[in-house]
């Protein structure tokens, strides 16, 4: 049975880095559409498909959410294409999007919550050159929307500490892809 592993966690938990590292291991990612502007290090079709709001509203989406005033969603075509081409896929998603996909995919969808502490979150945001106002807004959003409690609805929890390789190996083990030594 084909599986999708939803990577869930608060801002600066390392979700994008994890998805990127898993891609280098040959695990494709289902890419969402978004109306937000790309960050300097993001590329069209790699992290997201960047579209205008009017185009977004015309898409055939199986999941959609609003996050900090921007729209995000997974197209039916993207999901079907990736599931047909690979037995295991990942998707970066927030908790309400996960609930929508879970209703649709059932046991084909597993979830991994990426746990991170406040200090690490703030350090990562500072490293990403976010302003104090942006950091404050992100932390308030995280608290208000229960992002630190989303682990309660997931199948697995992985702490993303300073060593990304440990995190990746834990996720690969969850997927059944890490060979025993």
* Residue from 57, 70, 63, 46 nearest 141 by CA: 70
pLDDT at position 179, please?
A: 59
How many CB atoms lie under 10 A from the CB of residue 16? 18
C-alpha to C-alpha distance for 141 and 150, rounded to whole angstroms: 13
- Per-residue pLDDT, averaged over 53-69, amounts to 92
Domain at 3-174: CATH architecture: 3-Layer(aba) Sandwich (3.40)
For the chain, the straight-line distance linking the first and the last C-alpha, in angstroms and rounded, comes to: 26
Residues 72 and 97: beta-carbon distance below 8 Å: yes
pTM: 0.90
pLDDT tens digits for 16-26? 999 999 999 99
pLDDT at position 162, please?
A: 77
Token pair belonging to 102: 């879970």
Burial tier of 1 (Cβ tally within 10 Å: 0-12, 13-18, 19+): exposed
Q: Does 47 score more than 70 pLDDT?
A: yes
- pLDDT classification of 105: cutoffs 50, 70, 90: very high
Q: Does 60 score more than 90 pLDDT?
A: yes
- pLDDT classification of 61: cutoffs 50, 70, 90: very high
What's the chain's Rg over C-alpha atoms?
16
DSSP type of residue 31: P
CA angle at 22 for the pair 16 and 24, rounded to the nearest 5°: 110
- pLDDT classification of 180: cutoffs 50, 70, 90: low
* Residue from 144, 155, 60, 31 nearest 102 by CA: 155
CA angle at 100 for the pair 99 and 103, rounded to the nearest 5°: 85
Q: Does 40 score more than 70 pLDDT?
A: yes
């Amino acid at each position: 049975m084909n599986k999708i592993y939803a990577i869930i966690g608060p801002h600066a938990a390392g979700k994008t880095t994890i998805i990127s590292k898993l891609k280098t291991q040959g695990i494709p990612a289902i890419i969402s559409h978004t109306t937000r502007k790309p960050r300097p290090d993001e590329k069209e079709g790699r992290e997201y498909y960047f579209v205008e709001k009017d185009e977004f509203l015309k898409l055939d989406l199986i999941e959609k959410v609003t996050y900090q005033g921007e729209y995000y969603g997974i197209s039916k075509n993207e999901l079907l294409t990736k599931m047909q081409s690979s037995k295991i896929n990942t998707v970066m998603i927030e908790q309400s999007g996960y609930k929508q996909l879970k209703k649709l995919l059932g046991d084909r969808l597993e979830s991994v919550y990426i746990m991170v502490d406040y200090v690490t979150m703030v350090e990562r945001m500072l490293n990403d050159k976010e302003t104090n106002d942006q950091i404050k807004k992100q932390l308030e959003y995280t608290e208000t929307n229960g992002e630190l409690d989303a682990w309660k609805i997931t199948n697995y929890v992985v702490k993303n500490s300073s060593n990304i390789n440990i995190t990746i190996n834990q996720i690969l083990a969850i997927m059944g892809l890490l060979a025993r030594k």
